[in-house]
Amino acid sequence: MSNGMPEVKTPIFAANWKMNSGPTESRAFMRTFLARYARRPDRTVMFFPPALSLAAVRDSLKERADILVGVQNIHWEAKGAFTGENSAPIAKDAGATHALVGHSERRHVFGETDEQTAKKVAAAIGAGLFPMLCVGEKLDERERGETERVCVRQLRAGLSTLSNAQVATVIIAYEPVWAIGTGRTATPADASAVHVAIRAELRSIAGEHGGRLPILYGGSVNAQNVRALLDAEGVDGVLVGGASLDAEGWATIVRS
Marked catalytic residue, from 75, 98, 103, 209: 103
238 scored as a contact of ligand 13P (CB under 6 A): no
Q: Which of 181, 187, 227, 248 binds ligand 13P (CB under 6 A)?
A: 181
How far is the C-alpha of 139 from the C-alpha of 194, rounded, in Å? 14
The answer to whether residue 237 forms part of the interface with ligand 13P (CB under 6 A) is no
What amino acid is encoded at 109 in this protein?
V
Contact flag: residue 147 with ligand 13P (CB under 6 A) = no
Q: How far is the CB of 237 from ligand 13P (least distance, A)?
A: 12
Using CB under 6 A, pick the residue from 168, 241, 247, 253 that binds ligand 13P: 241
**Residue of this chain nearest to ligand 13P (CB atom):** 241
Distance CA 111, CA 104 (A): 10
Which of these is catalytic: 105, 112, 137, 175?
Answer: 175
133 binds ligand 13P (CB under 6 A): no
Q: Segment near ligand 13P (CB under 6 A), from 5-13, 197-205, 207-215, 241-249?
A: 241-249
The CB density around residue 79, as the number of other CB atoms within 10 Å, is 10
Asked if 137 is an active-site residue, the reply is no
Binding segment for ligand 13P among 60-68, 142-150, 162-170, 212-220 (CB under 6 A)? Answer: 212-220
Name which of residues 15 to 34 contact ligand 13P (CB under 6 A). Answer: 16
Where does this chain touch ligand 13P (CB under 6 A) — which range of 1-9, 198-206, 218-226, 228-236? 218-226
Q: Are 239 and 175 in contact, with CB atoms under 8 Å apart?
A: yes
Q: What are phi and psi of 132, to 5 degrees?
A: -110, 100
Is 175 a catalytic site residue?
Answer: yes
User: Does residue number 218 form part of the binding site for ligand 13P (CB under 6 A)?
Assistant: yes
Looking at beta carbons only, is 43 or 103 nearer to ligand 13P?
Answer: 103
Window contacting ligand 13P (CB under 6 A); options: 58-66, 106-114, 124-132, 216-224: 216-224
How near is the Cβ of 224 to ligand 13P at its closest, in Å?
Answer: 13
Amino acid code (one letter) for 206? A
Nearest by Cα to 68 from 102, 24, 100, 25: 100
Report the alpha-carbon distance of residue 254 to residue 223 in Å, rounded.
Answer: 9
The DSSP string of 84-149 is: T--BHHHHHHTT--EEEES-HHHHHTS---HHHHHHHHHHHHHTTPEEEEEE---HHHHHTT-HHH
**For residue 255, what is the DSSP state?**
T
Task: Spell out, one character per residue from 72 to 111, where the chain touches ligand 13P: x when CB under 6 A holds, - when not.
Answer: -------------------------------x--------
187 touches ligand 13P (CB under 6 A): no
Would you say 244 and 17 are in contact if contact means Cβ atoms under 8 Å apart?
yes
Closest CA to 60 of 82, 27, 93: 27
Active site residues: 103, 175
